[in-house]
Amino acid sequence: MVLNNLDLNRLKCFQAVAASGSLLEGAKQLNITSSAVYQSVKKLEADLQKHLFFRAGKKYVLTDEGRKLQELFARFLWDVSQFQEATQASAGTLEGDIRIGLPLNFSKSVFMPILAEFNKLHPRVSFHLMIGESRRLVEHISKFELDFAITDDAIPAELLPKIEKVEVFKEELVLVCSPGFSKQHEKTLRSLKKQRELPHLDYSRHLPLIQRWYKTHQQRQAKITQFHTIDNVETMVVALNEGLGLGIIPKVLLENTNLVVVPAQEKALFNTLFLVQESNYINNTLMKKFLAFLRQSL
C-alpha cells in the first residue's frame, strides 16, 4: 500500500465513512455534502490505487485494504500530526504544501509580494495557487481541495453552512475612464444624473459594482442604458484605456495606467475580501504560521 503524498482531509472523509458504514452519516459527521465525501474517498482510492469499500445497498463495507488503512490511522493520525508539528517547530524549519484559491487582481497586486517574503523565510514551503471567482473557489474549499481561499462576499447561500469566513482585507474601488473619454464628456461628468447616460462597463449584466457606486453617491440605483460587460479586471483596464466608457477597478491598479478617476462626493467605495476555509478544516503548524504571517502583512 503506497502512502506517499496522502491528503489528510481525504483520509478524514474515509475515516468518517469507515466508522459509520454510511456515506450519508459520514457526511453528517463532517457537516459537508455526501457528494464531497464521495469525491474525497474516490480520490483517496485513486491515490492509493486500492478499493477501500464494498457497497452493499446504502452501506459501505471496508475491504481488506480499507481495514488495514483504518487500523493504521485510526489511533495514530492525531499523534502523527502532533509529531510533525513538534518536529518542525523544534527544527525551526517549515516545509510542506499550501493550496490557496485567489481572485486574479488580489493575487497579483497584494498576495504575490507577501508570498515572496514568506518564501524568503521558508524556502522549503511550496505554494499551489488556483485563480478564479468566488463560487468556484468556495466549491473547491467545500471538497477539501484547497486549504483556504480569499474571496469576496459573493458566496452562494447553499455553500455558507460548509465554510467559515473572516474579513481580512478591504480594497478601495474607484470609478474611472480614459483621459480622452473624460475630455470628450467633461460637461456631462459634472452631473451625476447626466453621467448615468454615458456608456458604462461592469463585470456582469446586473451591473453590481456600478449600482453600488451610484447607490453610495446618490442613495439610489441608477438606470444605465448603455453598458458592456467584461468578466476580468485586466481586460476591463484595457477597455477603459480604449475609451469604451466608465468602469470600476481597484484603486491600486491606477499606478500602471493613465486612467482618470471620476470624483466622488461621498465616502469611498470598498470591496471586502474574506479568508475562507472549510468549517471542519484542521490547520497544522505550517498553515497556522502562514495565516498569521498573511494577516500581519495585510
Could you say which architecture CATH assigns to the domain 171-271? 3-Layer(aba) Sandwich (3.40)
Q: What is the pLDDT of residue 90?
A: 54
Determine which of 30-34, 84-88, 200-204, 279-283 has the lowest per-residue pLDDT on average. 84-88
Against a cut of 0.75, is the pTM above it? no
Q: What is the pLDDT of residue 182?
A: 95
What does pLDDT average to over the chain?
A: 86
For 121-165, the pLDDT digits (tens) are: 999 999 999 998 888 899 999 888 999 999 988 787 888 888 899
60 vs 89, higher pLDDT = 60
pLDDT at 289 over 80: yes
pLDDT at 240 over 90: yes
Pinpoint the residues of the chain covered by CATH 3.40.190.10: 94-169+273-297, 171-271
Determine which of 10-14, 152-156, 166-170, 208-212 has the lowest per-residue pLDDT on average. 152-156
Residues 6+ away with beta carbon under 8 Å from 58: 22, 23, 24
For the record, the C-alpha cell of 294 comes out as 498573511
The class (CATH top level) of 8-75 is mainly alpha
Q: What is the pLDDT of residue 1?
A: 45
**Sign for the pseudo-dihedral over CA of 232, 233, 236, 237:** negative
The class (CATH top level) of 94-169+273-297 is alpha beta
For 72-85, the pLDDT digits (tens) are: 776 665 566 666 66
Pinpoint the residues of the chain covered by CATH 1.10.10.10: 8-75
Dump the DSSP string for 155-201.
Answer: --GGGGGGEEEEEEEEEEEEEEE-HHHHHHTTTGGG-HHHHTTS-EE
pLDDT at 221 over 60: yes
